[in-house]
Amino acid sequence: MDFKQLETFVTIAKLKSFSKAAEHLFLTQPTISNHIQNLEKELKTILINRTNKNISLTQAGELLYKHAIDILNKKESAIFSLNQFKGKIEGILEISASTIPEQYYLPDLLIEFSKKYPEVKYNLKKYATGQIIDKILGGEIDFGIVGAKQEFKQLEYIEIMDDNIVLSAPCKDKYLYIDLIDLKDLCKKPLIMREEDSGTRKALEESLIKHNIFLEDLNIVAFVENTETIKELVRKGMGLTFISERAISRNINNQEIKKISIKDFDIKRKFYFVYHKNRALSPLTETFKKFVLQNKDTVI
C-alpha cells in the first residue's frame, strides 16, 4: 500500500468516477484502474463496486476510506509542518461556497490570505447551500461556506458573518413610488425568486411561513439561479426580488436598485463555515479556517 494508491482510492470515492479521478489526478484511466487493482490485491478484498454505472464503496471500502483520509492528512500534516519550519506554506485550497459568499465575501478574504500565504493556489467552486451540504456528507468535499443551516449531527457550523435579505426594486419606472409595503400588497407584486437549494430562498420561506404566507401565495414570475442575472432583471423592471443587501450595495450607490421596507417584516441570517465533525481537515484547510475566524469581523 502506498500513498498514490490511497490518493487514487480516496479521489474515486469522492468523485464517484474513475474517469473524473484520472482527470483530477492528471493520470490515465488505466493507471487509475491499476492502482485500485493493486490495492485490492494487497488487501485481499474488493473496495469498489463496479457492477453498475454508479461507483460505490463496499463495506471494506467504507472502512478503509476513513483510515485513508486520516493517513493522507497525516502525510500532508508532516509535509506542512516541515514547510512551516522552512517558512513556506503551499498547496491547493479547494473552496466550495454558496452564491453570496462566493461573489461578495471570498474575493476580499482570499486577497488577504494570499498576502500571508503567497504560495497557495485556489480552486473555487460555487454551489447552492443544499448541494454543498450533500457534498460534505457524501465525502466529495471537505468544507464549505453557506448561507443556511441544515441540521445533521455529522456537521459542525461556525458563524463567520451576518447578512440582511432585503426586498429590492428598480429605482426608475413603475416601482419608483414604492418606499414601504406590507405583506398583503407584496403578494400582488411580480417577484423573481432564487432556486430551491438557495440559502437566500430558504431564509425567505422560513420568515414568510411565520406570517402564514407560502410561495403559492406570491406572484412569482421567474426562478433564477444567478444573482447577477436577477439584479439585471430587477434593474430593467421585470419585478422585485429578495436579495442579500451585500449583493446590491453598489447598485444602490449607483441608483440602479433601491431597497423597499416591509412593514413589520425583516430577514436576518448568518453565513457559516461548515465541515464534517468526524473527518480531519487537511493542514492547509485548518490554516484557512483559522484565518477565516480571525478575520470574520474585519472582511466585508
1-86 folds as: Arc Repressor Mutant, subunit A (1.10.10)
Closest CA to 289 of 164, 125, 157, 200: 157
Q: How far apart are CA 191 and CA 123, in angstroms?
A: 34
Burial of 214: CB neighbours in 10 Å, binned 0-12, 13-18, 19+: exposed
Q: What is the pLDDT along the chain (300 residues), one digit of tens a residue?
A: 788 898 899 999 888 888 888 888 888 988 989 999 999 999 999 999 877 677 888 999 888 988 888 888 778 777 767 766 555 677 889 999 998 899 888 999 999 999 988 989 999 999 988 899 999 998 888 899 998 888 899 999 999 988 899 999 988 765 555 678 888 888 889 999 998 888 888 889 999 999 999 989 999 999 998 899 999 999 988 999 999 998 998 888 888 899 989 988 889 888 999 999 888 788 888 889 999 998 876 555
Closest CA to 259 of 269, 271, 270, 247: 247
Tell which CATH architecture fits domain 161-270. 3-Layer(aba) Sandwich (3.40)
Q: How many CA atoms does the CB half-sphere of 77 hold within 13 Å?
A: 10
pLDDT digits (tens, 9 = 90+) for 99-140: 889 988 899 999 999 998 898 999 999 998 889 999 999 888
At 56, is the secondary structure helix, strand, or coil?
A: strand
Q: Are 289 and 145 in contact (CB under 8 A)?
A: no
Residues of the chain with CATH 1.10.10.10: 1-86
Strand partners for 159? 272
Residues of the chain with CATH 3.40.190.290: 161-270
Give the start-end residues of each E strand in the chain. 48-49, 56-57, 90-97, 119-126, 143-146, 155-170, 180-181, 190-193, 219-223, 240-244, 257-262, 267-276
